[in-house]
Amino acid sequence: MAAVQGKLGLSGIKFLGLTLAASAALLAAPRAACAQDAAMPVPDRHRSEGWRDATNILTLSSLGVQLLMPRVFYSDPEVTVGWKARWHASVLAPSMTLIATGLVNEQFLKDSFKGHRPGCDDMSHGTVAECNDYGMFSTHSYLVGSALGQGLGVFLVDTVKWSGGRLNAGSLAMNVGVPAVLGVITTVGRTAGNWETGAQSWGSAGIGLAIGLGLGALYGAAQRPECGYGGDLICW
């Protein structure tokens, strides 16, 4: 009888030990999971409202420079020789084309490429306020890049084709220098404000630059800078 009680006592001790061990493991599991979660980096989804507003203004300014900048050229031999400036209403054609492609990107292309904004992924897209839309292509960076490209294309054609290779510093500054500064600040601002990644912003700006350059050069070559023999300042 004592032997049976000894066996039951030993079994009970073993059972109690196993129960305590299992309980300790269960209690430790949540702590381990919490520690593991704490060790995982939290994605940075903060978006700078200041940089958003600044890049909006800079983008509009960059587009406005191209709309308001006159064609500067060294006058044709048939008219008074010297530097002249003419404003063309036809500049709306390349400018509005580039703006339209930016709107197409904003409304359709972003959903096709599905380039997530910084800190976002497939799981967080549409479920987190900062991840409701995509970052690729960056419309802001694309537009400032295309504005720079348009100005560069027009400047090169006006210099080489219409001015016989003569360089005008004012045209260089306004067609290329100012848009370049605005473009760089805008693109940097989009990344500094965490609205797009560096690859998204600079890649979009590069694509805009190439498209704008081609369109600006085509426009500059097709549209003669001189209004005609009347010498009007505004060419309709």
Model pLDDT for residues 16-25, shown as the tens digit of each residue: 555 555 545 5
- Under 8 Å between Cβ of 209 and 146: yes
Query: For 174, phi and psi rounded to 5 degrees?
Result: -85, -35
Residues 190 and 89 in one domain: yes
Residues 103 and 201 in one domain: yes
Please give the pLDDT value at position 76. Answer: 61
Residues 26 and 73 in one domain: no
Please give the single-letter amino acid code of residue 5.
Answer: Q
Residues 166 and 88 in one domain: yes
Q: What is the 3-state secondary structure (H, E, C) of the chain?
A: CHHHHHHHHHHHHHHHHHHHHHHHHHHHHHHHHHHHHHHCCCCCCCCCHHHHHHHHHHHHHHHHHHHHCCEEEECCCCCCCCEEEEEEHHHHHHHHHHHHHHHHHHHHHHHHHCEECCCCCCCCCCCCHHHCCEEECCHHHHHHHHHHHHHHHHHHHHHHCCCCCCCCHHHHHHHHHHHHHHHHHHHHHHHHCCCCCHHHHHHHHHHHHHHHHHHHHHHHHHCCCCCCCCCCCEEC
Please give the pLDDT value at position 78. Answer: 59
Q: How confident is the model at residue 231 (pLDDT cuts 50, 70, 90)?
A: low
What is the average pLDDT value for the chain, to the nearest integer? 84
Q: Express each pLDDT in 124-142 by its tens digit.
A: 888 888 888 888 899 999 9
Residues 63 and 140 in one domain: yes
pLDDT, greater one: 70 or 43: 70
Please give the pLDDT value at position 127. Answer: 84
Residues 132 and 219 in one domain: yes
Residues 88 and 13 in one domain: no
What does pTM read for this prediction? 0.79
Average pLDDT on 115-123 reads 90
Q: What percent of the chain has pLDDT over 70?
A: 78
Q: Please report where in the chains the tokens 């910084």 appear, as a residue.
A: 118
Residues 159 and 205 in one domain: yes
Which residue range(s) make up the domain with 15? 1-40
Q: Is the peptide bond preceding residue 137 cis, with omega within 30 degrees of 0?
A: yes
Please give the pLDDT value at position 3. Answer: 46
Residues 3 and 58 in one domain: no
Domain count, the chain: 2
Q: Express each pLDDT in 149-200 by its tens digit.
A: 999 999 999 999 999 999 999 999 999 999 999 999 999 999 999 999 999 9
Residues 32 and 67 in one domain: no
| Beta-strand relationship, 71-74 and 134-136 | unpaired
Please give the pLDDT value at position 114. Answer: 87
